[in-house]
Amino acid sequence: MSEENSLGSVEVSLSPLQRFEEYIQSRRKRMTPQKKQLLEHVFSRHEHFDADTLIDNLPDDAKGIGRATVYRALSEFVDAGLLREFQLDGRAVYEHDYGYPQHDHLYCKECQKLIEFQSDELIELREAVARMSNFRVTGHRFIITGVCEDCRMSKRRRRQRLDMI
Amino acid sequence: MSEENSLGSVEVSLSPLQRFEEYIQSRRKRMTPQKKQLLEHVFSRHEHFDADTLIDNLPDDAKGIGRATVYRALSEFVDAGLLREFQLDGRAVYEHDYGYPQHDHLYCKECQKLIEFQSDELIELREAVARMSNFRVTGHRFIITGVCEDCRMSKRRRRQRLDMI
DNA sequence: ATAGTTGCAAAACATTTGCAAAGTT
DNA sequence: AACTTTGCAAATGTTTTGCAACTAT
């Protein structure tokens, strides 16, 4: 389920916060109001975000949290297996990992939307490829880029309007 | 063959330089000694590189080329369908696209090596996924991360040595 | 002649780091 | 008390931009 974290696979029975507390203790780290607030906010909605968006959307009672703290917390969350991180157009993007099934993305370069999809076949393919190269897999990143349905449709609409002239 | 370029698919019968010249003309851009030198150097060996490595390895007669010029040339090469660009650990990495078969990568996080592999199955999978979402595909990025054979072996060797104590 | 290109330096970004003050265990 | 974390500002690393001088067409 969760890959590339440092606690290995654990069944989902704990809340993200409980899971993080486990991690904190296993690493002699400390729980702080900042980390707690960030974690709660991050898990309050299932969507993709980057550090900046996160900071901008922080609730008022968490507005005082410094940039560096946010960055530091995000890497802890990733390390704890709560979040998954990947690069998109040069910046880091995060999404829920803990308690969320493995999946990949379609990325619309018009509207920057990320659409999730799941494919067991891809995992099989990944294992087959790795086996051939004697490679030990810890994870992968598969992003299909293009134009999403919505953007295709609004483009077509625009084209039709022009054709009428 | 080549994806995400702006000239569409063209058969490989021209040298990279000729192909670039075509692009230059189609875009009312200009050929300069700097672009020519960079292009020649970039296509003199088939390997992955980033902007910095490229600049460092430039032959003496091209040493005077400014950073900005290199960056500007690289995006032209990408736009011309000569190079493919992707992000790795936060920076842009380039590889030959023109005249080179489509492939994906295994990325060793120990030694940062990129190993290429090709899979038709992956392309079929990509099309199938896109079809389901009514998505128009222009390309994809598939990177399998893990530890390569060489690094696995040297780790094992190290472990065995320790076990003997 | 016209418009694109160069090199430089400065700016822009995203992210990281050093450090003193504050907080957690 | 011991050690970690915070927020700030400064530093970093990579890529982009403004601009005057230059150059390809």
Which element (helix H / strand E) includes A100? none
Residue of A nearest to B137 (CA): A146
CA of A158 to C1' of C4 (A): 32
Looking at residue A157, what is its pLDDT? 72
Average pLDDT over residues B24-42: 97
CA dihedral A59, A65, A71, A74 (to 10 degrees): -50
Query: Residue type at B71?
Result: Y
Query: For residue B73, how many other CB atoms are within 10 A of its CB?
Result: 23
Q: What is the pTM of this model?
A: 0.86
Q: Which residue has the higher pLDDT, A164 or A56?
A: A56
- Nearest Cα to Cα of residue B41 among B29, B53, B30: B53
Average pLDDT over residues A66-88: 96
Q: What is the DSSP string of A101-147?
A: ---EEEEETTT--EEEE--HHHHHHHHHHHHHHT-EEEEEEEEEEEE
Q: How confident is the model at residue A156 (pLDDT cuts 50, 70, 90)?
A: confident
B7: pLDDT strictly greater than 50: no
A91 CA to centre of own chain = 12
Please report where in the chains the tokens 């000239």 appear, as a residue: B7
B56-65 confidence digits (pLDDT tens): 999 999 999 9
Looking at residue B41, what is its pLDDT? 97
Residue A116 near residue A105, CB atoms below 8 Å = yes
A15-69 confidence digits (pLDDT tens): 999 999 999 999 999 999 999 999 999 999 999 999 999 999 999 999 999 999 9
Q: Which residue has the higher pLDDT, A154 or B42?
A: B42
Dihedral over Cα of B153, B158, B163, B165: its sign = positive
Residue B89 near residue B82, CB atoms below 8 Å = no
B39-95 confidence digits (pLDDT tens): 999 999 999 999 999 999 999 999 999 999 999 999 999 999 999 999 998 899 999
A121 touching B (Cβ < 8 Å): yes
Average pLDDT over residues B10-16: 75
- Nearest Cα to Cα of residue B106 among A127, A6, A92: A127
Residue A89 near residue A107, CB atoms below 8 Å = no
Q: What is the DSSP string of A47-115?
A: --EEHHHHHHT--GGGTT--HHHHHHHHHHHHHTTSEEEEEETTEEEEEE-TTS---EEEEETTT--EE
Q: Which nucleotides of D are covered by protein (CB under 7 A)?
A: 4-10, 13-18, 23-25
The B 130-159 residues near strand D by Cβ under 7 Å are none
CA of B32 to C1' of D23 (A): 8
Rounded Cα gap, residues B68 and B2, in angstroms: 26
Looking at residue A59, what is its pLDDT? 95
A86-119 confidence digits (pLDDT tens): 999 889 999 999 999 999 999 999 889 999 999 9
The A 56-75 residues near strand D by Cβ under 7 Å are 64-69, 72-73
CA of B37 to C1' of C9 (A): 24
Domains, chain A: 1-100 (1.10.10.10), 102-165 (3.30.1490.190)
